[in-house]
Copies of this chain bind each other. A is one copy, B any other.
């Protein structure tokens, strides 16, 4: 497939880098201020030169000399939306996706905003288009949470829960292992680049909640006979508690009882909840460090556990390119 990649952060750059290996061709790349569009005259490959894009971004902070709008207007089969997640109107990501759909092209999202905050609008745009929307990369990085729920079929999934934020999990894992307090481990995580300078999005549970909101939308709309009967979830519908107030003493007490604390997100077609919970220390949910895990409760096949890397450029790009493969 011919791909236009919008967003040139770690995920967008990895998609550009790996696309060829998955048998796809990148015909346009845009970041917020610049773009490059293949002119179709390349010697051997009519797509953009992936190495050159990545090098320009690193050296000059731009991906090319064209305008971002040119990338949106390029001749692609699927648009990859990998700009940063925004809340509320989920712009500019939402408009990027609807531009693709209006042109009857597909869209594959790594950006959580449009699926978490405007699922019903997105669904309506898909209904009017020949194009499809996929968004495996928005939940759990390399973990195939969305497609597995789709394969089982949402009406046969009663709940999805799991550890969906690697930063918060890293902090809780280190607090328990070293007997340290939150502030101390956060500083360490920031030094290691595992936590952002402003860690609020991760440690307050927002990121995990957005992923659970997306899963709740998949469950609710997927199980409804008529989409008009489905309940749309947004971040406002989620009950969210982060890990800032988990004291080191709570982890020590838990350990005495063979337990530990994890930031657990839960989604059904009825509710979204994220909060620190006690879980067995050697149990399935107690993944370590930046690992993520998703537990899918099914009607007929018991519980399915899927764990793996929940973030990272190549990991998330693999989920994007898996989605592109499913569109073919």
Partner-binding segment picked from A85-93, A121-129, A209-217, A299-307: A299-307
The count of chain A contact residues (Cβ–Cβ below 8 Å) is 36
Contact A142 B298 (CB under 8 A): yes
Chain A 295-328 interface residues, beta-carbon cutoff 8 Å to B: 298, 300-309, 312, 314-315, 317-319, 322, 325-326
Contact B305 A305 (CB under 8 A): yes
Contact A300 B314 (CB under 8 A): yes
Contact A152 B304 (CB under 8 A): no
A226 at the interface (CB under 8 A from B): no
Closest to A316 in B: B301
A143 at the interface (CB under 8 A from B): yes
Distance between Cα atoms of A51 and B252 in the complex (Å)? 54
Contact A309 B302 (CB under 8 A): yes
A279-305 contact mask (Cβ, 8 Å, vs B): 1 or 0: 000101000000000000010111111
Contact A322 B142 (CB under 8 A): no
Contact A309 B318 (CB under 8 A): no
Chain B residues with CB below 8 A from A282, complex form: 282
Contact A148 B153 (CB under 8 A): no
Contact A300 B152 (CB under 8 A): no
**Shortest beta-carbon distance from A94 to chain B in Å:** 26
Contact B301 A314 (CB under 8 A): yes
Chain B residues with CB below 8 A from A322, complex form: 151-153
Chain B residues with CB below 8 A from A303, complex form: 308-309
**Shortest beta-carbon distance from A317 to chain B in Å:** 7
Distance between Cα atoms of A308 and B300 in the complex (Å)? 12
A147 at the interface (CB under 8 A from B): yes
Contacting residue for A144 out of B148, B314, B326, CB 8 A: B148
Copies of this chain, how many? 2
Chain B residues with CB below 8 A from A300, complex form: 14, 18, 314-315, 317-318
Distance between Cα atoms of A14 and B306 in the complex (Å)? 25
Contact A147 B151 (CB under 8 A): yes
A141-161 contact mask (Cβ, 8 Å, vs B): 1 or 0: 111100110011100100000
Distance between Cα atoms of A87 and B288 in the complex (Å)? 42
Chain B residues with CB below 8 A from A144, complex form: 144, 148, 151, 304
Contact B147 A304 (CB under 8 A): no
Contact A326 B151 (CB under 8 A): yes
Chain B residues with CB below 8 A from A284, complex form: 307
Distance between Cα atoms of A298 and B316 in the complex (Å)? 13
Chain B residues with CB below 8 A from A153, complex form: 22, 322, 325
Chain B residues with CB below 8 A from A314, complex form: 300-301
A11-25 contact mask (Cβ, 8 Å, vs B): 1 or 0: 000100010011000
**Shortest beta-carbon distance from A167 to chain B in Å:** 17
Chain B residues with CB below 8 A from A319, complex form: 301
- A22-B156, A151-B322, A301-B314 are known contacts; what are 10 more A-B pairs with Cβ within 8 Å? A18-B300, A22-B153, A141-B301, A144-B151, A147-B151, A153-B325, A302-B315, A303-B308, A304-B308, A305-B305
Q: Could you name 8 residue pairs across A and B whose Cβ atoms are closer than 8 Å?
A: A144-B304, A151-B322, A152-B322, A301-B308, A301-B309, A301-B315, A301-B318, A301-B319
